[in-house]
Amino acid sequence: MKKINVLIIAVITVVAAFMTSCKNDSIDFASPIVTFVNGNQTVMANSDVAISGSILAPAGIKQIVYFKDDTSFGDVITKGFDSDTATNFSVSIPADQVTSTFTFEVQVTDKNDKIGKGSVTVTVQLGDPVVKFSGLKMYSAQAGIYGDGDYASLTIFHTWNHSDASASADTIAVIDVWYYNGNYTKDLGGTPHLVSPDTKTTTYPTHDGLVLTNAKSTKLRILTSTEAADFSDWANINDDYLIANIDMSNAVKNVGGFAQGDIIAFQLADGKKGVMKAVGGTAGSGSTDYILVDVIVQEQAAPVTK
Residues 158 and 264 in one domain: yes
Convert the pLDDT of each residue in 131-141 to its tens digit. 999 999 998 87
What is the pLDDT, as a whole number, of residue 269? 94
Q: Are residues 291 and 179 part of one domain?
A: yes
pLDDT value of residue 184: 59
pLDDT reading at 306 higher than 50: no
The per-residue pLDDT for 258 is 84
Phi and psi for 107 in degrees, rounded to 5? -120, 125
pLDDT tier at 80, thresholds 50, 70, 90: very high
Higher-pLDDT residue of 187 and 54 is: 54
Q: Are 121 and 40 in contact (CB under 8 A)?
A: yes
Q: Tell me what the mean pLDDT of segment 225-240 comes to.
A: 93
Check residues 126 and 269 and name the one with the higher pLDDT. Answer: 269
**111 and 188 both lie in a single domain:** no
Identify whether 230 is part of a domain.
yes
| Residue 59: predicted pLDDT | 96
* pTM given for the model: 0.65
* pLDDT at site 301: 52
Residue 2's pLDDT band (cuts 50, 70, 90):
low
CATH number for position 91? 2.60.40.10
Count how many domains the chain has.
Answer: 2
User: Mean pLDDT across the chain, nearest whole number?
Assistant: 84
In this structure, is residue 179 part of a structural domain? yes
Mean pLDDT of 103-111: 97
Last residue of a domain, one of 65, 100, 125: 125
Strand order in the sheet with 115-125: 41-44, 115-125, 102-110, 61-68, 71-72
Q: What angle do CA 16, 21, 24 make, to 5 degrees?
A: 125
Q: Which of 82, 105, 125 is the last residue of a domain?
A: 125
> According to the model, what pLDDT value does residue 42 have?
86
In the predicted model, what is the mean pLDDT of residues 38-45?
86
Distance CA 206, CA 102 (A): 59
Q: In the listed set 73, 99, 125, which residue is the last one of a domain according to the structure?
A: 125
Stretch among 75-84, 92-101, 179-188, 266-275 having the lowest mean pLDDT = 179-188
Q: Both 202 and 87 in a single domain?
A: no
In a domain, 108, yes or no: yes
For position 17, what pLDDT does the model report?
Answer: 54
Q: Residue 305's pLDDT is what?
A: 38
The pLDDT value recorded for residue 24 is 47
Q: Which residue has the higher pLDDT, 108 or 17?
A: 108
Q: Does residue 180 share a domain with residue 90?
A: no
- Look at 32-36, 177-181, 221-225, 246-250 and tell me which has the smallest mean pLDDT: 177-181
Residues 204 and 227 in one domain: yes
pLDDT in tens, 268-298: 999 999 999 999 887 766 677 888 999 999 9
pLDDT in tens, 166-213: 888 999 999 999 887 665 565 556 678 888 988 865 554 444 446 677
Terminal Cα distance for the chain, rounded:
116
Structural domain containing residue 277 = 130-298
Asked if the model's pLDDT at residue 31 lies above 70, the reply is yes
Asked if residue 114 and residue 165 are part of one domain, the reply reads: no
Domain identity same for 168 and 107: no
Same domain, 145 and 120: no
Asked if the structure places residue 148 within a domain, the reply is: yes
Cα separations (Å) of 209 from 176, 198, 289? Answer: 17, 11, 18
State residue 207's pLDDT score: 47
> Cβ distance 189 to 177 under 8 Å?
no
Q: Does one domain contain both 138 and 242?
A: yes
